[in-house]
Amino acid sequence: MLKIYNTLTKKIDEFKPISDKEVGLYTCGPTVYHYAHIGNLRTYIFEDILKRVLEYNGYEINHVMNITDVGHLTDDGDNGEDKMEKGSQREGKTAWEIAEFYTQAFQKNLKELNIESPTTWCKATDNIPEQIAFVQTLTDKGFTYATSDGIYFDTTKFPSYGEMANLQNQELEAGSRVDMGEKKNPHDFALWKFSKPEEKRQMEWEAFGRKGFPGWHIECSAMSSKYLGHHFDIHCGGIDHIPVHHTNEIAQSEAAFGEHPWVNYWMHGEFIVMKNDEKMSKSGDNFVILDTLIAKNIDPLAYRFFLLQTHYRKQLNFSWKALEAAQTGLNNLRNKVLALKNKNIKTLKHENTSPDVLVIKTSFLEKINDDLDMPGALASIFDALKNDEIDYETILQFDKILGLELDKIKKENIEIPDDVQKLLDERKKAREEKNWSESDRLRDEIKALGYNVEDTSEGQQISK
């Protein structure tokens, strides 16, 4: 039985799909005005694990991910610049070129992290008529009003507004924290924005009698209903989406479709934060992307392994030291799996039914089905690797969830340059003399040249 934490009910619920076999899953995708930072990527890895766990439980997944290539303003209160137009000014390219470039960069990151592709990718700009029709439906049903700068959703017409995020309990004095502009209520949000008369936008469309562009939330409601229908199983994102983006998606979709709940399970991944709780941002020192890791000789899958060690609902602190430890941990796991492969490469013919292995498999399944307890699942695997009965194929079955490409490990024949070999020899001598500080210093020196050393029962093992 699969159990998952549902932000809607605020408890761990048994997962019951709407239809027997296929699960409808919508995950909010990137705003493609810059590279995804490693915080963003944590959310996509959590969603990938969810998908793999559903697949492991025998479900087929109809997974839709959007690309926000228009309409995401720099603040959540429907003010500020459009992030795409901002990206275009920053780089001197058109907004369309920016969107194309960063969409490709994002999809490359997903491959590098071994994240499975969605069944359907959809771009906001490819679905403008659907969004206009959605705003029209809401207008026909009496949920909207127009101001001089856009068409807004009137949250007072939707009594359960903000239930998932507990917003009803938050006293929001009009104008105190939110720049109200001509909005009637603080939580009201833009469904459609009108282009300002003085500005020439690169991305704008004729609708409602003027030029304009969609509000950020409407794309997810329009595209999820297009591909998954008016009622589907699971919707995910990072926790920052709970109070604004997802709250607004729920309001506009339930108002338009009359379905409650519109989505049965809402799942949110916690953030990864920098030291001192600083936010990860898309500019400045806190802007760490996957390429930054690769440039420091950290394998993207070591970042994946790093994330698996913490439950997706726990905040995680980023540090280079922890990431390096994860790289060593992954190398260690790979070495163990390779040794296992070499050990039972000839003997494997049938599924392993040893009682020990059955216990291990059950324990692994219990962990992943317990709200995606990946730290627990990893611990089961390391325990399993200590058991003489475990076989390579069973570990590969587990890797269907981990996604660490344990089936692709091969012993690398690394050519060791002379200077690195000299340091290795010095380190061997230092270790024989039990001079651990010198040994550590030499390890760092070797690392600076791009090689990792591990101490195994067979001596120093080197990897790139």
Q: Contact positions toward Zn ion, by CB under 5 A?
A: 28, 220
Binder among 13, 22, 97, 240 for ligand AMP (CB under 6 A): 240
Going by C-beta distance under 8 Å and a sequence separation of 6 or more, which residues neighbour residue 69?
Answer: 31, 32, 84, 95, 99, 103, 123, 124, 125, 203
Q: Is 191 in the site for ligand AMP (CB under 6 A)?
A: no
Token pair for residue 381?
A: 């695997």
Residue 220 binds what, of Zn ion, ligand AMP, none (CB under 5 to 8 Å, by partner type)? Zn ion
Residue 118 binds what, of Zn ion, ligand AMP, none (CB under 5 to 8 Å, by partner type)? none
Residue 144 binds what, of Zn ion, ligand AMP, none (CB under 5 to 8 Å, by partner type)? none
Is position 220 annotated in a ligand binding site? yes
Residue 300 binds what, of ligand AMP, Zn ion, none (CB under 5 to 8 Å, by partner type)? none
Residue 162 binds what, of Zn ion, ligand AMP, none (CB under 5 to 8 Å, by partner type)? none
Is position 282 annotated in a ligand binding site? yes
For residue 242, give the 3-state DSSP assignment: helix
Strands (E), 28-113: 60-67
Q: Is 109 in the site for ligand AMP (CB under 6 A)?
A: no
Going by C-beta distance under 8 Å and a sequence separation of 6 or more, which residues neighbour residue 29?
Answer: 65, 66, 67, 68, 106, 121
Binder among 238, 312, 392, 404 for ligand AMP (CB under 6 A): 238
Task: Say which DSSP state 243 is in.
Answer: I
Cβ nearer to ligand AMP, comparing 143 with 189: 189
Is position 260 annotated in a ligand binding site? no
Q: Is 246 in the site for ligand AMP (CB under 6 A)?
A: no
Q: Determine contact, residues 99/84, Cβ cutoff 8 Å.
A: yes
Token pair for residue 56?
A: 């492991």
Between the alpha carbon of residue 177 and those of residues 75, 76, 115, 142, the distances in Å are 13, 12, 38, 27
Token pair for residue 70?
A: 């228009």
CB of 30 to ligand AMP, least distance (A): 4
CA-CA distance, 52 to 137, in Å (whole number)?
A: 36
Binder among 241, 334, 341, 367 for ligand AMP (CB under 6 A): 241
CB of 229 to ligand AMP, least distance (A): 22
Cβ nearer to ligand AMP, comparing 47 with 204: 47
Q: Determine contact, residues 192/207, Cβ cutoff 8 Å.
A: yes
CA-CA distance, 45 to 312, in Å (whole number)?
A: 9
Among the candidate windows 23-31, 109-117, 170-178, 420-428, which touches ligand AMP by CB under 6 A?
Answer: 23-31
Q: Determine contact, residues 12/4, Cβ cutoff 8 Å.
A: yes
Residues 257-316 that bind ligand AMP (CB under 6 A): 269, 271-272, 280
Size of the site for ligand AMP (CB under 6 A): 15
Q: How far is CA 344 from the centre of its chain?
A: 36
Q: Annotated binding site for Zn(2+): which residue ranges?
A: 28, 220, 245, 249
Residues that bind ligand AMP (CB under 6 A): 28, 30-31, 39-40, 42-43, 237-238, 240-241, 269, 271-272, 280
